[in-house]
Amino acid sequence: QVQLAESGGGLVQAGGSLRLSCAATGRTVSSLVMGWFRQAPGKEREFVAIISRSGTYYVDSVKGRFTISRDNAKNTVALQMNSLKPEDTAVYYCAASTGVMTTDRTVDYWGQGTQVTVSS
């Protein structure tokens, strides 16, 4: 059983930065496909970024602003978010999959979520 715990959310002004962290227990992050999803009020949960053995992938709206990374020694995955915009406001979820991760339906494990609010 994999457990994921996010931290690092908060309130930031537009143009600012936040760093989210996800600590995994039960399996090593290097053996999983790890990702971040987000859900804004009234909207469906959407893919943000993933990291796997084949590389990193981002939704177009965050390319060039967000960076996903993995620290195998600490068994954590981070999402560095720069140049934040009000439309980035959402609950951000850490996700893990033992196979491919293409949509939220292919996620095997979820964190509890952390709120990110970007003020204009």
User: What's the number of CA atoms in the CB half-sphere (13 Å) around residue 120?
Assistant: 2
Q: Phi and psi dihedrals of 105, rounded to 5?
A: -75, -15
pLDDT of 92: 98
Tokens of 105: 């339906």
Q: Which residues contact 54 (CB under 8 A, 6 or more apart)?
A: none
pLDDT of 104: 83
Q: What is the mean pLDDT of each run of 10 residues along the chain (120 residues)?
A: 95 98 96 96 95 95 98 97 98 95 89 97
CA distance 64 to 120: 20
pLDDT of 45: 95
Which bin fits 64, alpha (ψ -120 to 50), beta or left (φ > 0)? left
